[in-house]
Amino acid sequence: MIIENKVKSVDSFNKEGEHKIEGVPNLYLRVGKSNKVFRYKSKKWLTLGQYGIDTTLRDAEMLSKIISVKLKQGFNVDQIDNTLTITKSPYHFEDQLKQVADIKVNNPKDIPTFKDVHREWHKFKQFKEKWSKGYIQHTMNVPTNYAHPFIGDKQIHAITRKQVSECVNNVYLQGKDETARKLRGQLEDIFDYAIDNEWLDNNPVPQAKSALIIGKKTRAVGHGFLKFEKIPEIVQILMSKNTPQSLATVMALITSKRVKEVCKMKWKDIHFKEKQWNAPSETTKSGRPHNIPITVEFMGILERMLAGTTTEYVFRSKDIHISLEAPRNQLRRIILKNMKEFKHIDSEREPDAHGFRTSFGTWARQAGYDIKYIKAQQSHADDGSVTEMYNRYDWIQERRVMAQHWEDFCFGKCSFEEKSRF
């Protein structure tokens, strides 16, 4: 439909002179008394062929984009003009240009390296996307650690599909499947950015299902989670330790918040009167503030940590917050010796602290709670509908009932069916 509309637009150009083709930089249609000619605007006009005679609109657009790239790669206008006298086909143009230019084009000086493009893309993405600070750092660290050693110093246009595959596969061979999957996706985005800036023509990153990628071609597997009947036992062990690390682990479990958000919880974000914790946008994955109802045991943990506090953080270690690894390590120490006893029968991985979110989500569905309350509690995105875009109610009162029920269940005070209320 889009190309048909463009063709209709080109057909409608009848007034003599130059007419800009929308959506393609530097491409024009020159209307004369007896013909229409596609032209590329550079230091001098380049003729791409007569419309309807030897060049279609699609071919002119493709040729225009190729010429833009080749000019950036160091070819001069005269070399391109001479090539156009031989062929106006976008499918043969590059080969003819190399013959006409009679130069090696593998190392043009003005094409940036992968490192340069990655850094520029990273700045661009920070500006355009509302990413959390942690994810921003992640998108810098993963390509830096796993791609720079292989292709970092290579100019972006000279990197081959095979080299990208070897880079990603090296991470798979280290047993880091999830990291390899994220690396492949980030590389694809980085090379797309390079294409947008006309530093290369095609994206060399293989698709996830490509034969060149050795990782598992299966669905994503969520974090491991616990048997529900073992959760009160784990909570009891953690509460008896009574350390900032153990109490933070309990907090992550009963609130279903991400470990990072719990570890970085600050007193200024706790509203005792309203009985709410307002997790600020800089700590949440969504980049939006998120309200969590403060339940009975939640309040009890806060009161324990408030005694003698000297820092801005709720779960402190010296003068800063506890390590983000603390809850993960706390759980690992408890379940490591008898994994089968603690692992939920439906869990495909060993339980971990992030899996608390899976435990809550699964439990809440089985307990019959509305999916919109569950999503709101876990700060998951809405369905994108116009109705939801205008909805600013976060179901906080309804979530209080659900959160208290979940907390009571975790502390062994009730079953699925016994919904506790304030």
Distance from C-alpha of 153 to C-alpha of 163, rounded to nearest angstrom: 13
Tokens 């309990």 sit at which residue?
250
Whole-number Å distance between alpha carbons of 399 and 417: 16
- Distance, CA of 338 to CA of 16 (rounded, Å): 83
Closest CA to 155 of 116, 189, 187, 120: 116
Gap between the Cα atoms of 388 and 274, Å rounded: 25
- Distance CA(110)–CA(16), nearest Å, equals 38
CA geometry: angle 367, 369, 375, nearest 5 deg: 125
| Side-chain-facing half-sphere of 154: CA atoms under 13 Å | 16
Q: Are strands 270-271 and 45-50 parallel, antiparallel or unpaired?
A: unpaired
CA–CA dist 83, 78 (Å, integer):
8
Rounded-to-integer distance, Cα 333 and Cα 283, Å? 27
Whether 349 and 375 have beta carbons less than 8 Å apart is answered as: no
- Is 74:108 a contact under the CB 8 Å cutoff? yes
What domains, with CATH codes, occur in the chain? 2-101 (no CATH), 114-196 (1.10.150.130), 228-410 (1.10.443.10)
Predicted TM-score (pTM) of the model is: 0.54
Encode the chain (422 residues) as per-residue pLDDT tens digits: 344 555 556 667 778 888 888 878 888 888 888 888 888 998 888 888 888 777 888 888 888 888 888 888 778 888 888 888 888 888 888 878 877 776 444 445 578 899 999 998 888 766 555 666 777 888 899 999 999 999 999 988 888 888 999 999 999 888 888 899 999 999 999 998 888 887 887 889 988 888 888 876 555 567 888 898 999 999 999 999 999 999 999 999 999 999 999 999 999 999 999 999 999 988 887 778 899 999 999 999 999 998 877 789 999 988 899 999 999 999 999 998 888 899 988 888 889 898 899 999 999 998 889 999 999 998 875 544 434 444 446 788 889 999 999 999 999 998 766 654 44
Contact between residue 190 and residue 118 where contact means Cβ atoms under 8 Å apart: yes
Question: What's the CA gap between 366 and 139, in Å, rounded?
Answer: 36
